[in-house]
Structure 1
Amino acid sequence: MSHELVGLIGLDREEVTELKARVECRLVSFDMMPKVQLRDQHLYLARFGTWDWVGPVTKVVFHGIFEDDLPGIAALALWGGQCLPSASGLLDCRPRIANMARVRRVSRFATLPRSYTDAETTFRTDTPSVAKWGEWHCGVGKERFTGEWTAQEPSLIEPFIEGEAVRVTAIGDTLFQLRLGGDDWKKSIHHAGADFVPLNSDLAADMRHLRDHFDLAVCAADYIIAADGNPHLLELNHVPNVTQFPAIRSAYLDLAAQWIAEPPAVSPVLPIGHF
């Protein structure tokens, strides 16, 4: 067995069990965001409520969204070790508003005008709109309105577009397109009406561009295809659902197992001091 120690952060128990059966190295799993410590250029992780540091950790597989996880993600990026997907990409895309500001400069289909309003302010518009706030995604922190809307948190405002909601998920080089389902204007991968649809070549190219730009081997982009046939990017998901559909789950576990099994990249030891 390899002497590598790989940290799994956020994966469900079933996926952890399957990966343990498929790789020949030590795995340590955390269902919640662990404490993170960098010491002598090495990464150590510990469960909340304990001071039992585990490490040095050689690689990290990260697949979770947690409250107040941004400092830990920033620490992983500062560490600079091997992370699936890259910690720098996770850091770029974790904060919803900053994510959209960055994505608008990359995606071909992010031309919808976005507005912003600060916490405890009232926004007025005659255009049917959607307000988005918070960091949870999955339909949480969204409200449709026309007229006045009062924000409790910093919020994005975007025009409401009628159309078909789709998601393009990247699992490494493999892409899947899903039609999202819902009983109202909110659409989700979890709805019974969600299903695979043929991959649109333009959306596939856009997804690959986003994936490569942000160095996110695992990610998903949500689009709304308007009545005129034009797609509009709604958001880039840095931690998309990978367990709802067996084909996506299988592709994800294949990618993770292969990535874990690859020999670790050798990172140069940086000199200590000021030059």
Structure 2
Amino acid sequence: MTHNRIAIIGLHEQEYKYIRERFDGLIIWHQSVPKIKVVNKTLYVEKMQGVGMLPVDKIIYHGIFENDLDFISGLALWNGPCFPNAYGMLECRLKISCLVKAMKYSKFKSARGFISEGAYINTETDLVAKWGNWHCGENKHKFTGSWESSENAVLEPYFEGEAVRVLNIGERSWQIKLEGETWLKSIHPDHVKLMEIDAELLEDTLALKEKIEMDIIGNDYIVQKDGTKHLLEINHIPDITRFEEVRLHFLNTVVEWIHKN
């Protein structure tokens, strides 16, 4: 069966063109969140140019935008073919509630705390506060002593060790050694590299992927010198452009998914 029209949302032009060259149907492409409506089980997406909306058969979504939770909810209510599946994205879009769910299932969960906006805490050991719904090392603060939170935040012990990400797309997985000049580590520094996959971390990642019903997952862990492992967070829209083999596998997975019935 050939689908008449798909919508690609969030991907950059290079990735859009890769898919465009491998799909002979109609495509609506938006780099940011478009207007949509769901009527009689049909999803309509804003045109690329001009006024109005067009029905689409499938959605590919890869992005994190400030106010996209309701948009993802709309895709979930539509309940049509969406990659990654909308329900899994919805479960993970809000970082604190996603962490709560992950702690229920992860083998490497560790005790977390919580602090309300405007509340004080005194600690003799290093703690890390995390708030908001952005990634890339933002909205995190490490402290000892007295501290007043400006946001509702999760509190966790500061774990000294190696920061890694286990990434899974379809049938392939990678482990990435995260880097950074400070205690904050991410996938973006030039010296980030792929490394051998830890079997236990992969098993944990795949278990969480199944439980939360995700198609793509990127789990960040800390591995301490004594081998103790801690899940830090789940990335529901992990970076796919940092390594070319990951990017191509992602794009080929998307193309294959588009052509499935």
Please give the TM-score of this superposition, normalised by the length of structure 1: 0.91
Name the CA shift for 1:3/1:258 in 2 (closer, same or farther; >3 Å).
Answer: closer
TM superposition outliers: structure 1 runs of 4+ over 6 Å: 47-50
> What's the counterpart of residue 273 of structure 1?
none
Give the counterpart letter for 2:20 in structure 1. K
The count of residues paired between Structure 1 and Structure 2 equals 261
Give the counterpart letter for 2:108 in structure 1. F
State how 1:106-255 maps to structure 2 within 5 Å.
Answer: 106-110=105-109, 112-255=110-253
Name the CA shift for 1:117/1:48 in 2 (closer, same or farther; >3 Å).
Answer: farther
Residue 165 of structure 1: SS of its match in structure 2? strand
- The gaps in structure 1 that reach 5 residues or longer are 264-275
> What's the counterpart of residue 30 of structure 2?
30
> What's the counterpart of residue 7 of structure 1?
7
Give the counterpart letter for 2:58 in structure 1. K
CA distance in 1, matches of 2:131, 2:31: 25
Name the CA shift for 1:192/1:93 in 2 (closer, same or farther; >3 Å).
Answer: same
CA distance in 1, matches of 2:129, 2:213: 28
CA distance in 1, matches of 2:137, 2:4: 38
CA distance in 1, matches of 2:49, 2:139: 29
Give the RMSD, CA atoms, in angstroms: 1.7
Residue 260 of structure 1: SS of its match in structure 2? helix
- The gaps in structure 2 that reach 5 residues or longer are none
> What's the counterpart of residue 20 of structure 1?
20
Question: 26-35 or 91-100, which moves further after superposition?
Answer: 26-35
Name the CA shift for 1:252/1:133 in 2 (closer, same or farther; >3 Å).
Answer: same
Give the counterpart letter for 1:58 in structure 2. D
- Give the superposition deviation at 1:158: 0.6
- Give the superposition deviation at 1:208: 0.9
Give the counterpart letter for 2:245 in structure 1. A
Contact map agreement 1:2 1:24 (CA 8 A) in 2: no
Residue 166 of structure 2: SS of its match in structure 1? strand
Residue 11 of structure 2: SS of its match in structure 1? coil
Deviations 1:109-143 (A, max 9, x none): 12x11111112222332220111111111111111
Residue 234 of structure 1: SS of its match in structure 2? strand
CA distance in 2, matches of 1:197, 1:246: 15
Contact map agreement 1:118 1:153 (CA 8 A) in 2: yes
Name the CA shift for 1:125/1:9 in 2 (closer, same or farther; >3 Å).
Answer: same
Please give the TM-score of this superposition, normalised by the length of structure 2: 0.96
> What's the counterpart of residue 66 of structure 2?
67
Contact map agreement 1:2 1:26 (CA 8 A) in 2: no
Residue 44 of structure 1: SS of its match in structure 2? strand
> What's the counterpart of residue 46 of structure 2?
46
- Give the superposition deviation at 1:49: 11
CA distance in 1, matches of 2:133, 2:114: 15
Identity %: 36
CA distance in 1, matches of 2:28, 2:257: 16
Contact map agreement 1:35 1:48 (CA 8 A) in 2: no
Residue 125 of structure 2: SS of its match in structure 1? strand
Residue 224 of structure 1: SS of its match in structure 2? strand
Deviations 1:241-267 (A, max 9, x none): 00011011011011001001111xxxx
Question: 120-129 or 176-185, which moves further after superposition?
Answer: 120-129
Contact map agreement 1:85 1:215 (CA 8 A) in 2: no
Residue 156 of structure 1: SS of its match in structure 2? strand
CA distance in 1, matches of 2:131, 2:190: 26
